[in-house]
Amino acid sequence: MIALHQSYKRLSELIGVEAMLKIYNEYRGTQFQYPMRLYDREEVSKLVRKEYDGTNLKELSQKYGYSQRWMKAQLNKLNRDKKE
């Protein structure tokens, strides 16, 4: 597909021509701005509370792309909520 616009050409290289055409047909003309974070803050907060085992904060931080400091704050918030 030589005549593709540069944006669509790159997209087709990343995901394939068929998937690119589906995206084009569904969203053509729409401008997208994607957040820097892949995962939703509220959902990550819930997951960290479930997955934290007392030793794996660094791994969870790397997995979800949020700082250990933020994750500690979420865990502390959970502990405060339990006390009330």
Q: Are 60 and 51 in contact (CB under 8 A)?
A: yes
- 15's CB contacts (< 8 A; 6+ apart) are 23
pTM comes to: 0.68
pLDDT by residue for the chain (84 residues), tens only, comes to 679 999 899 999 999 999 999 999 999 999 989 899 999 999 999 999 999 999 999 999 999 999 999 999 999 987 777 776
For residue 54, the 8-state DSSP code is: S
Q: Are 60 and 48 in contact (CB under 8 A)?
A: yes
